[in-house]
Amino acid sequence: MPKHKKAPVGLINTVSSLLLQVVTIIGGFIIPRLILSHFGSETNGLVSSLNQFLNYVSLLEGGLNGVIMSYLYKPLASRDNKKVSSIVVASTRFFRRISYIFIGYAIILSFIFPVLSHSSFSYEFVASLTMILGIKLFSQYCFSLSYKNLLLASKHGYIINFSQIALIILDVISAIVVVNFFPSIHALKFISALIYILQPIIYGHYVKKHFKLDRNVKPDNGLIASRWDGLSINIAYFIHSNTDVTLLTIFTRLETVSVYGVYALVIAGLRNLVMSIESGIGPSLGNLYAIGDQKELNRKFDLFEYVIFLATFLLFTIGGLLITPFVMIYTHNVADADYFQPLFGALFLLGEAIYVLRSPYVRLAYSAGKFKDMRKEAYIEAGINILISIVLVQSLGLVGVAIGTLIAMTYRTLFQIWYLRDHLLNRPFMKFVRRFIAFAIPTILGILLCIFVWPITEFTIQKWLMGAAIYSIIFVLIYAAVSYLFFHSDLVVLKNYLKHHRPE
């Protein structure tokens, strides 16, 4: 158990998570740009595609991460060190087995992928890059995940965030050095993999210093058995994260995968900024549910829902107006692929916005351990995404996979809201509808105003910055008015929350 507890951990976790997302976004733009400018779109698409295929190993995890989090909340709250230790020991052994399986999978993929990708690169080039990219994932499964789940569940996520910030900065510096002095994609990714091996060392040192874990305790094998309850959740998330790139790799060219990857950089940055707020408040929901404090749970959930709505509409609306002009500026002088895809960008962004809006409902259901109840709908979500994407990708390409994701996300989001109403908090469905309408109508009006009065017609940095400033002012004013008129009580709760959670 932790030897000490910081007073404002929720706020520290949120702030550090936001800082991490900012650094991740910056680093996420710098490294792909270096790859595009020095190695081309095909190489960038190859790296994106290989990373997605290597991530298939996450299916073996079977949803255990979510199960571990739900199992840890109660013993951490009651300071049951023996139970916490048994969970950590069991999960460590399980993840280590996955890492050994992953070695075999990476070797097999290195033989198959050079044929599957239909690239212009040599067989040896693709096979060796596959093994290099696998090093980072191997270290994650073999050494990192158990400690990471423990730190998150115990509200020590800021340790993860600050260490990640340092590693990203090192990664960016090393990439700049490599492309300027030894331009090789293999060297760039190999040094990156070595840097991220530091991650489990940092986690292990912190856990050893601040937690009194009993390594000799009997592992909680019931935890491993329960992973099957989370399997459907894991599959749905996996399909959401990997279907598009997989289908584009099979049915299109690696240059198209590169286009998808560049838009995904922007959208992932927006998504992660909002989800960083979730990481600060989310564990509190799990702890409140574990101790049965329904009144405080409802109050905290109202705050959580309002903040997620506000952040999602603000960031994703402005992002939707700016994403295609940004991509065109970002890929300036990269002429080996068509990066002007405004319809794809809008649909892709809308699907991710819906995905983020459902996060409060999903977080509470997972924290309550309701994995079995999520199983059917998660499989349906995954099925919708795969089937629609396969049908449309061959005729519509990027737009086809974006439509598949959008429809699947909408279905699952509506289910999660209904489930919360009937099984967890008895919240009326119309409460979500009213909140959504209160944000959506002013958003549509604001978008029309921006498109027709202040459109970005020239793809230059100056025009983009001017547009970003104007759009930001417009939507900050719009959502400030919406919050004051319709969500004044939420503003009061948020003010009190920040007041009582200021760092000392």
Least confident of 174-183, 215-224, 337-346, 462-471: 215-224
What pLDDT was estimated at residue 6? 46
Amino acid making up residue 361: Y
Q: Are 356 and 274 contacting, i.e. CB atoms less than 8 angstroms apart?
A: yes
Domain that holds residue 120: 11-498
Q: Is residue 444 part of a domain?
A: yes
Rounded Cα distance, 173 and 427, in Å: 49
Highest mean pLDDT among 71-80, 109-118, 138-147, 167-176: 167-176
**Domain assignment present for 6:** no
Is residue 401 within 8 A of residue 389, CB to CB? The reply is yes
H-only helix segments in 358-428: 359-367, 371-396, 398-423
What local confidence, expressed as pLDDT, does residue 1 receive? 47
pTM here? 0.74
Length of the chain counted residue by residue: 504
Residues whose CB falls within 8 Å of the CB of residue 436, separated by 6 or more in sequence, listed in order: 309
CA distances from 9 to 232, 402, 440 (A): 32, 37, 33
Residue 97 carries which side chain, given as an amino acid letter?
A: R
In a domain, residue 3? The reply is: no
What average pLDDT does this structure show over 467-492?
89
Q: What percent of the chain has pLDDT over 70?
A: 85
Q: How far is CA 119 from CA 50, 129, 154, 253, in A?
A: 12, 13, 46, 8
For the chain, what is the mean pLDDT? 83
User: Does 409 map to a domain?
Assistant: yes
Count other C-beta atoms under 10 Å from residue 440's C-beta. Answer: 12
Question: Please, which pLDDT band fits residue 282 given cuts at 50, 70 and 90?
Answer: low
Identify the pLDDT of residue 291.
65
The pLDDT assigned to 347 comes to 94
The answer to whether residue 504 sits within a structural domain is: no
pLDDT surpasses 60 at 126? yes
2 belongs to a structural domain: no
Tokens of 23: 């650094």
- Summarised one tens digit per residue, pLDDT across range 252-262 is 888 898 999 89
Is 325 within the bounds of a domain?
A: yes
503 belongs to a structural domain: no
Predicted confidence band at 278 (pLDDT cuts at 50, 70, 90)?
Answer: low
Say how many C-beta atoms besides its own lie within 10 A of residue 124's C-beta: 10
Number of domains in the chain: 1
Residue bearing the bigger pLDDT, 228 or 305 = 305
